[in-house]
């Protein structure tokens, strides 16, 4: 009997030990890659959660190292937390506790979610306090991340969609490889000429972002209340004329046999382009450089096409921004702010743009020598920047602000996929709108509106 | 009170005391597992049922009590109906095929031949592969532009199939990959079952001049039935809970044709942050697995021959 008691006591101890161990793990993991040991009077530690993997992570780490070397007050610790979605889910579990990171990279459609979460510190406070001049930033980028004149987060890695095409295939089909299709009818004609044997003319990834961009390029809105920027959006409106233009285009081209269905996976779409299955695709500007390096043919880059009679509005900014946690030490906040300022400087942005293909949020970066050299080698990169510069700042290109964006995107993807099964474009879009409305309703219910 | 009555009463008291102390000792022995189950199983289960009656904040904190509304909404939602259908079809596609294939391979590999070890290793090899690694392999096989399957079809002059992109084929494709993944484990267990069958039974059959087919039907399968029952139950429950290959191969698409309930729960809870609705789906899935398992035990076990 006595032994039994000892046994169960030992077990209880073991359980307790396990419990405290798991709690400690994040700190251990973070300090494992810290270079200097943390003393109380040493540099303040600023934990930075991000979602940059592969080559991007390398570029980010060297950027952080440079910052840490540039001063000795703060020590930024980059911690990779999986994809944007995964990182946000993890943040969700620690937000508001002491485990919460000081800096967090969140994708563009998580903006509203972060504002509503109540666990963040708008960077506007620091901008005001210091009288920081935000006009040095690219207006189209800062517009996305500011709501009612308040800059909530710091734009960091920004990208937009572009048309990427196979120049060699253009020549073979008797098209001018320097002349990218700008309108839907030009696109359809080019696609028809390019479709031959295994090669299809055009492909769009089944991903909500491209639909949103194609709608915004024509000046169309995604949700009501000025895309959710004038007030809480209550209804999706993407089934209007602009959305129909996009769906009709996909439907027509698919029925003509000039459209390639590349699924939901970015890598599959890029493989289809590189293997010659699709001669034109829509891709993120951040993927352009990799595509040029890897494709066995000449790659051209063009603007997002618009319907023939539509006025070109431009593109919504994609990518991610940096958020500051609200419930952390003042010192950590200051450190996070210093890092944000450092990151937005022209020099750093120039290097970042060259390394990754993401936009420089500070246009002065484009005058830096590294960028000038890079653009000489890859003139296609300039097209992506020009497209953003020519964008008109309005509610459409400002991008929608809703917290149920991930769900809305799933609905749009479903609708896109149903087109390949012969669904009617209007019905498919209406259904997606209806389902998005239900999500918006539920969300309003949760927030007690 | 007579003397005898008094003695009996005190005896009863003693007996009850001993029973009580036995019970306590028993509980003490069970305590470690009860504690673990309580923390990791019972509490989460109760909590799931509780959450399924609420609308929750993005952090999973219950905010608005809605009663059975989450369930009603699910029953009315076409998405959920598609999920239920996809789950049922997925179970139907994978379980019988996995068990049949593994049984056939196990019977083949149960012979005493030179080099049979090589085949046993090959047939059970998929057990050593993680779901993630196998899914990536199958992703490349299914790839419409660079995948092996479509190249073979092209060589035979058959038009290529959009394995994972066509709603008609997607669930089937994922099922094929899953059967391949399941086979290793089922094979290994079944082979073990086969080797446990008393060889004297076969010797007697040989002496009696019973044909191979008859031996399989009358000796092998009945003697293997407890193992078969175990493998079927485990495969069935696994099929209901499949997640990894769906996430990696199709993400529930195209047109929700592979959006099995577990994947739908994940999407609702961790992408859309509707923990309430996700919990309701989890409760329904639990009920479904429970019912199917009970039916299987009630009906299936009758056919099982225990030695």
Taking an 8 Å cut-off on Cβ atoms, the answer to whether B254 and A263 are in contact is: yes
Q: How far is CA A76 from CA A46, A184, A381, A401, B299, in A?
A: 5, 47, 30, 30, 62
Reply yes or no on whether the pLDDT at A2 is more than 50.
no
Query: Mean pLDDT, to the nearest integer, of A190-207?
Result: 92
Percent of chain A with pLDDT over 90: 44
- CA dist A142 and A123 (Å) reads 12
Closest-approach residue (CA) in chain A for B161: A261
Of A262, A421, A442, the CB nearest to B255: A421
* CATH H-level superfamily of B78-303: MetI-like (1.10.3720.10)
A and B: number of Cβ contacts within 8 A: 87
Q: B244-295, pLDDT tens digit by residue?
A: 999 999 888 788 899 999 999 999 988 888 899 999 999 999 999 999 989 9
> What pLDDT shows up at residue B146?
79
Flag whether the pTM goes above 0.90. Answer: no
Taking an 8 Å cut-off on Cβ atoms, the answer to whether B270 and A89 are in contact is: yes
Q: A118-135, pLDDT tens digit by residue?
A: 888 999 999 998 888 888
B97 phi and psi angles, rounded to 5 deg: -65, -45
Note whether A315 and A387 are within 8 A (CB). yes
Residue to mutate among B31, B157, B158, B253, with most A CBs inside 10 A, is B253
Taking an 8 Å cut-off on Cβ atoms, the answer to whether A117 and B25 are in contact is: no
- CA dist B174 and B259 (Å) reads 11
Instruction: Sort out which chain B residues have CB atoms less than 8 A from A15's CB and list them.
Output: 35
Task: Work out the mean pLDDT of chain A and round it to a whole number.
Answer: 86
> Is the backbone peptide bond immediately before B254 cis, with ω within 30 degrees of 0?
yes
Phi-psi region of B60 (alpha: psi -120 to 50; beta: other; left: phi over 0): left
Of A262, A264, A446, the CB nearest to B253: A264
Note whether B287 and B45 are within 8 A (CB). no
- CA dist B96 and A218 (Å) reads 52
Instruction: Sort out which chain A residues have CB atoms less than 8 A from B273's CB and list them.
Output: 92, 113
Which band of pLDDT confidence, cut at 50, 70 and 90, is reported for residue B1? low
Note whether A123 and A153 are within 8 A (CB). yes
Which band of pLDDT confidence, cut at 50, 70 and 90, is reported for residue A22? very low
Reply yes or no on whether the pLDDT at B73 is more than 80.
yes
Instruction: Sort out which chain B residues have CB atoms less than 8 A from A113's CB and list them.
Output: 58, 273
Please name which of B123, B28, B49 lies closest in space to residue B286, comparing C-alpha atoms. Answer: B49
The strand pairing partners of B65, in sequence order, are B54
Helix (H, G, I), strand (E, B) or coil at B109: helix
The shortest C-alpha distance from B165 to chain A (Å) reads 6
Decide if B167 touches A, using CB distance below 8 A.
yes
Instruction: Sort out which chain B residues have CB atoms less than 8 A from A272's CB and list them.
Output: 144-145
Q: B99-136, pLDDT tens digit by residue?
A: 999 999 999 998 888 889 999 999 999 888 899 999 99
End-to-end CA distance of chain A: 60
- CA dist A285 and A318 (Å) reads 10
- CA dist B264 and B102 (Å) reads 29
Considering only residues 64 to 103 of chain B, which have any Cβ-Cβ distance to chain A shorter than 8 Å?
A: 64, 79
Taking an 8 Å cut-off on Cβ atoms, the answer to whether A92 and B273 are in contact is: yes
Structural domains for chain A: 33-159+318-376 (3.40.190.10), 161-314+404-446 (3.40.190.10)
The H-or-E segment that residue B208 falls in is helix B199-208
Helix (H, G, I), strand (E, B) or coil at B131: helix
User: Rounded to 5 degrees, what angle do the CA atoms B57, B60, B62 make?
Assistant: 65
Contacts of B259-264 spanning 24+ positions with Cβ under 8 A:
B259/B79, B259/B82, B259/B83, B259/B86, B260/B83, B260/B86, B260/B87, B260/B90, B261/B83, B261/B84, B261/B87, B261/B285, B261/B288, B262/B87, B263/B83, B264/B79, B264/B80, B264/B83
> What pLDDT shows up at residue B56?
86
ipTM: 0.74
Q: B202-244, pLDDT tens digit by residue?
A: 889 889 888 888 888 888 888 999 999 999 999 999 999 999 9
Note whether B57 and B272 are within 8 A (CB). no
Which band of pLDDT confidence, cut at 50, 70 and 90, is reported for residue A55? confident
Taking an 8 Å cut-off on Cβ atoms, the answer to whether A263 and B164 are in contact is: yes
Taking an 8 Å cut-off on Cβ atoms, the answer to whether A263 and B253 are in contact is: yes
Closest-approach residue (CA) in chain B for A261: B165
Residue with tokens 């997640």: B243
Closest-approach residue (CA) in chain B for A269: B145
Decide if B59 touches A, using CB distance below 8 A.
yes
Residue B113 exposed, middle or buried by CB count within 10 Å (0-12, 13-18, 19+): exposed
A127 CB neighbour count, 10 Å cutoff: 18
> What pLDDT shows up at residue A21?
38
> What pLDDT shows up at residue B307?
64
């Amino acid at each position: 009997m006595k032994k039994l008691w000892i046994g169960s006591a030992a077990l209880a101890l073991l359980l307790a030990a396990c419990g405290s161990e798991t709690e400690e793990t994040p700190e251990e993991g973070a300090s494992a890659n810290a270079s200097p040991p943390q003393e109380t009077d040493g540099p303040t530690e600023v934990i930075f959660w991000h979602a940059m993997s592969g080559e991007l992570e390398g570029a980010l780490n060297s950027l952080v190292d440079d910052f840490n070397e540039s001063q000795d007050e703060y020590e930024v610790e980059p911690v990779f937390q999986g994809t944007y979605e995964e990182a946000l889910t993890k943040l969700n579990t620690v937000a508001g506790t002491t485990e919460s990171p000081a800096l967090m990279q969140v994708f563009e459609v998580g903006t509203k979610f972060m504002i509503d979460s109540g666990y963040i510190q708008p960077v506007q406070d620091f901008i005001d306090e210091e009288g920081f001049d935000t006009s040095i930033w690219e207006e189209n980028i800062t517009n996305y991340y500011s709501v009612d004149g308040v800059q909530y987060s710091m734009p960091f890695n920004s990208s937009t969609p572009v048309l990427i095409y196979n120049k060699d295939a253009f020549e073979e089909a008797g098209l001018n490889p320097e002349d990218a299709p700008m309108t839907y009818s030009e696109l359809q004609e080019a696609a028809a000429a390019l479709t031959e044997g295994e090669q299809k003319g055009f492909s769009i990834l089944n991903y909500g972002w491209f639909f949103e961009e194609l709608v915004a390029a024509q000046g169309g809105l995604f949700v009501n209340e000025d895309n959710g920027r004038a007030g809480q959006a209550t209804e999706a409106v993407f089934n209007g004329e602009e959305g129909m233009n996009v769906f009709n285009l996909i439907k027509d081209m698919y029925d003509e046999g000039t459209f390639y269905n590349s699924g939901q996976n970015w890598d599959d779409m890029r493989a289809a382009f590189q293997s010659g299955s699709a001669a034109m695709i829509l891709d993120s500007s951040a993927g352009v450089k990799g595509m040029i390096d890897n494709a066995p043919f000449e790659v051209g880059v063009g603007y997002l096409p618009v319907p023939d009679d539509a006025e070109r509005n431009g593109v919504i900014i994609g990518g991610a921004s940096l958020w500051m946690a609200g419930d952390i030490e003042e010192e950590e906040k200051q450190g996070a702010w210093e890092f944000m300022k450092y990151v937005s400087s022209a020099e750093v942005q120039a290097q970042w743009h060259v390394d990754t293909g993401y936009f420089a949020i500070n246009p002065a970066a484009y005058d830096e020598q590294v960028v000038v050299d890079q653009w000489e080698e890859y003139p296609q990169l300039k097209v992506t920047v020009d497209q953003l510069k020519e964008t008109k700042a309005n509610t459409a290109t400002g991008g929608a602000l809703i917290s149920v964006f991930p769900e809305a995107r799933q609905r749009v993807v479903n609708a896109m996929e149903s087109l390949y099964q012969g669904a009617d474009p209007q019905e498919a879009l209406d259904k997606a709108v209806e389902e998005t409305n239900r999500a918006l309703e539920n969300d309003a219910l949760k927030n007690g509106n | 009170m007579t003397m005898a009555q008094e003695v009996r009463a005190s005896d009863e008291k003693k007996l009850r005391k001993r029973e009580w102390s036995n019970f306590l000792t028993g509980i003490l022995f069970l305590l470690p597992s009860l504690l673990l189950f309580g923390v990791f199983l019972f509490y989460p289960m109760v909590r799931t049922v509780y959450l399924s009656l609420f609308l929750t904040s993005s952090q999973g904190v219950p905010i608005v009590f809605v009663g059975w509304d989450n369930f009603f909404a699910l029953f009315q939602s076409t998405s959920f109906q598609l999920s239920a259908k996809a789950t049922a079809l997925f179970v139907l596609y994978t379980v019988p095929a996995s068990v049949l294939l593994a049984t056939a391979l196990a019977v083949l590999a149960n012979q005493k031949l030179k080099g049979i070890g090589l085949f046993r290793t090959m047939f059970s090899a998929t057990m050593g592969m993680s779901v993630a690694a196998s899914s990536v392999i199958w992703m490349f096989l299914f790839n419409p532009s660079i995948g092996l399957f479509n190249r073979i079809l092209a060589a035979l002059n058959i038009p290529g199939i959009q394995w994972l992109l066509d709603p008609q084929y997607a669930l089937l494709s994922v099922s094929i990959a899953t059967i391949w993944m399941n086979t290793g484990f089922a094979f290994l267990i079944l082979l073990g079952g086969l080797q446990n069958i008393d060889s004297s039974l076969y010797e007697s059959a040989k002496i009696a001049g019973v044909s191979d087919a008859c031996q399989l039907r009358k000796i092998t399968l009945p003697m293997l039935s407890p193992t078969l029952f175990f493998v079927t139950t485990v495969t069935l429950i696994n099929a209901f809970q499949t997640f990894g290959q769906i996430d990696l191969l199709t993400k529930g698409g195209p047109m929700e044709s592979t959006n099995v309930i577990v994947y739908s729960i994940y999407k609702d809870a961790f992408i859309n942050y509707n923990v309430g609705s996700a919990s309701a789906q989890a409760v329904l899935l639990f009920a479904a697995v429970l019912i199917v398992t009970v039916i299987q035990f009630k009906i299936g076990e009758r056919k099982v021959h225990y030695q």
